[in-house]
Amino acid sequence: MTGGREESERSGAACIVSLLAGVWMLAAGAMYGGWHMGSYGGMGWMWGHGMMGGLAAVPSWWPWLGVAAGVAVVLAAAMACVRPRQSQPWGIVILVASVANLFAGMGGFLASALGILGGALAVARRPE
């Protein structure tokens, strides 16, 4: 009987961790993208006149890869939560989007790590 409880806890953890990662990717990519194209001469505070002193070597389209990865993770996590029997393919989508965000997006390392963890939990879940 404890096997079923472990499966539901793993499924719940995969949903929560993946949704958190996706929302984080979305927020980080959107904020950076919005600031990058914002009011400081086309660059955000950090890149325009703050910390990086105007050394914006990041193309303006780059943050939107993080937004796309965040959308993919949120949608796949929602589908894995709604349809737990199909959590393995959705977990693979979460893994692929999180790894893509890790290497190409602007969603942050921690968000990608959470997405990879959530995707791995979703893939490890066995359909009933």
Write the pLDDT tens digit of every residue in 46-60.
Answer: 545 445 444 455 566
- 39 domain residue, yes or no: no
Q: Which residues contact 67 (CB under 8 A, 6 or more apart)?
A: 25, 26, 29, 30, 33, 105
Tell me what pLDDT residue 59 has. 62
- 10 domain residue, yes or no: no
- 116 domain residue, yes or no: yes
Q: Which of 29-38, 44-53, 113-122 has the highest mean pLDDT?
A: 113-122
The Cα 4–Cα 19 span in angstroms is 22
pTM confidence score: 0.75
Full residue range of the structural domain in which residue 80 is found: 18-30+61-124
The arithmetic mean of pLDDT across residues 48-75, rounded, is 70
Tell me what pLDDT residue 63 has. 74
CB 116 within 8 A of CB 69: no
- 110 domain residue, yes or no: yes
- 90 domain residue, yes or no: yes
Domain total of the chain = 1
CB 122 within 8 A of CB 88: yes
- 87 domain residue, yes or no: yes
